[in-house]
Amino acid sequence: MRYLGLVSLLFSGLVHAQTLNTEELCARMELNVEAFAFGVNGKLLEKKKETQRVSSNKSWSSNGGKQCIIETGWTSVWNEQDAPLALRFSLEAKANNVLELNVKQYETNARYDSSEKPILEKTFRVDSMQSIMWESPLHKIPQLMVRFTPNISIRERPSDLDKLNIAAKEMIVTDQNGSVWMEDMSINGRYITIRTYKGSVALSYYPFPGAKVIGEASNKTMTLESPEGLRLKLRSQTPFLAQGLTANVYGLFSSKKTLKPGSINSGATDKLEKFMKNLQDF
């Protein structure tokens, strides 16, 4: 098997080299996504940036070798007159550590559950972690360009934790569009349920029936992603985990909502049996 080398600078000034097999590459690979709008004279008008590090959609399979895929979507509205920039993209690490980026552009909707067919699709081989540029065929004035940059995090892979609650103080939850789902909420329990006017999510550091890894927690931040591409960020005034520790978050998403904006239903318990009973209405 071929290996990918990871070189990081330590505070001591020494250079530490580490070889990564495909499994380690799967745990650490990231995809930085930047979108740019240019005017008629090539002048930069606007820029949007986000980092895709989607543990929930990284998957291992045994089909002639192990594979790992980061797959997600991005629908962004730049102005009301033009079509949205609707993309689905995936970064795949093959068994021989070759990275491939697949990009699909849609006319209006890039959701997983959409029946819309892509208007353009291309697959790129990533050489030496170089950036790949994507030009939208639907947006000429302004011209929209997207830059995909693969990266390898120097962080260790997320861990499965034992006997630790999800605890947060004055927590705020937002989605990828900047909408606030809830704020100023404190929780503490091994198994958590949250229902808001935007939707619902059930969480734990422990696997439970029906749950999958939907994200990870580190310090004061927890990032989650649903199979449909919904991304949530949970930020607490107190750390979810001790400094330097990163953990998998297991969970389920639900489309069920509270009746009015600002209303929140939440629950926390250390008992799996009680938690699973609560999920019957989830």
CB neighbourhood size of 104 (10 A) = 18
Q: What whole-number distance in Å separates Cα of residue 249 and Cα of residue 188?
A: 15
| Same domain membership, residue 217 and residue 140 | no
| Same domain membership, residue 103 and residue 74 | yes
Q: For 10-52, write each residue's pLDDT tens digit.
A: 333 444 445 666 666 776 777 888 888 888 777 777 776 554 4
Domain boundary among 103, 122, 152: 152
Q: What whole-number distance in Å separates Cα of residue 258 and Cα of residue 97?
A: 45
* Bridge partners, residue 86, by sequence: 75, 106
| Same domain membership, residue 191 and residue 139 | no
| Same domain membership, residue 174 and residue 91 | no
In a domain, 21, yes or no: no
Q: What whole-number distance in Å separates Cα of residue 182 and Cα of residue 196?
A: 7
- How many domains does the chain contain in total? 2
Domain encompassing residue 197: 166-281
Taking CA 89 as the corner, what is the angle to CA 88 and CA 93, rounded to the nearest 5 degrees?
155
229 — pLDDT class (breaks 50, 70, 90): confident
- Mean predicted confidence (pLDDT) in 69-94: 76
Half-sphere exposure in the Cβ direction for 255 (13 Å, CA)? 2
Q: Is the pLDDT of residue 53 over 60?
A: no
| Same domain membership, residue 236 and residue 144 | no
In a domain, 183, yes or no: yes
| Same domain membership, residue 88 and residue 181 | no
Domain boundary among 152, 183, 200: 152
Q: Is the pLDDT of residue 177 over 50?
A: yes
In a domain, 105, yes or no: yes
Look at the pTM and tell me if it is higher than 0.85.
Answer: no
In a domain, 97, yes or no: yes
| Same domain membership, residue 210 and residue 145 | no
Within 8 A by CB and 6+ apart from 192, the residues are: 166, 202, 203, 204, 266, 267, 268
- Do the strands 132-140 and 85-93 form a parallel or antiparallel pair, or are they unpaired? unpaired
Q: What pLDDT is stored for residue 6 in this prediction?
A: 41
Domain boundary among 121, 152, 183: 152
| Same domain membership, residue 173 and residue 142 | no
| Same domain membership, residue 272 and residue 200 | yes
